Amino acid sequence: MSKILIYLCFVAVIFSGCETEDPYQDAGLNAVGQYTNSLGMEFVEMPDGYYVCKTEVSQIIYETIMAKNYSYRKGENLPVTNITSGNAIEFCEKLTEHETNKQSFPEGFVYALPSYEEWLQYVADASLADSNTPIGNNYDTSKETTVNINEGIPNRLGLLHIRGNVREISRDIAKSTTGNIFLGAYYCEHRTDFLMCTNKSSSSKSKNEKYDSTIGLRVVLIPESKNISTTLRLGIKIGDSHLF
């Protein structure tokens, strides 16, 4: 009987238009400070003692640090795409190295990919109505592509494109694939359940598996001691139940 109830819940999530009622959305946290690094990347400080970048990593920032740009659709202020999880991790390491000797860099901190737990905090009140997805009010179905990282309506923390534009690589690992979990939705994601902010239904299969224009990254600035990965089940969490 419990399996039937979970299945019915899954069907309801897929076909209902009430996605914004996701019980895990908006952790009630507010930003407590701000930080801007030497490259002009703006961060907000969260109460748990870490910082999250206001935007996805742009192609110009990625190219400055990595001296390469894999993105198919080029544009300085478009999100970098076509990267592997390994590329994203290397970017964080090199960005840390680049910034470590800067006067304003917080001592003992490193740049990292966000965790799923952090994501559930800073997604806050980000609305699908404002997202670059087919659900978004300003979505252009004739283009179906990424938009500039600085465009759009931010959530109440000042973060942009939390729920769309590109899926963002997490430092957490999927138990079934041992690859990095992807957070959020991307510009042409039509499945309602995959648009939920609690969705973690996909992952890479290895650090070297290359993806297309649906995958990008956002970075957090965290104490080095917290730069650890958690192994999680893939699926969509509703209440205490996991779907697939």
Over residues 139-157, the mean pLDDT reads 88
State residue 202's pLDDT score.
74
DSSP H or E stretch at residue 173: strand 167-174
Choice among 39-53, 101-115, 130-144 with the minimum mean pLDDT: 130-144
pLDDT at position 177 over 90? no
Percent helix, strand and coil across the chain, each rounded to 5? Answer: 25, 20, 55
pLDDT at position 30 over 90? no
State residue 233's pLDDT score.
81
pLDDT at position 39 over 80? yes
19 vs 49: which has the higher pLDDT = 49
Query: Do 51 and 218 contact (CB within 8 A), yes or no?
Result: no
Query: Do 150 and 94 contact (CB within 8 A), yes or no?
Result: no
Query: Do 149 and 129 contact (CB within 8 A), yes or no?
Result: no
Over residues 56-64, the mean pLDDT reads 98
**Pairing mode, if any, of strands 33-36 and 42-45?**
antiparallel
State residue 239's pLDDT score.
46
Tally of residues, the chain: 244
State residue 227's pLDDT score.
95
State residue 166's pLDDT score.
94
Question: What is the C-alpha separation between 180 and 113, in angstroms, rounded?
Answer: 10
Over residues 164-169, the mean pLDDT reads 93
**Domains identified in the chain and CATH numbers:** 2-15+22-243 (3.90.1580)
pLDDT at position 3 over 60? no
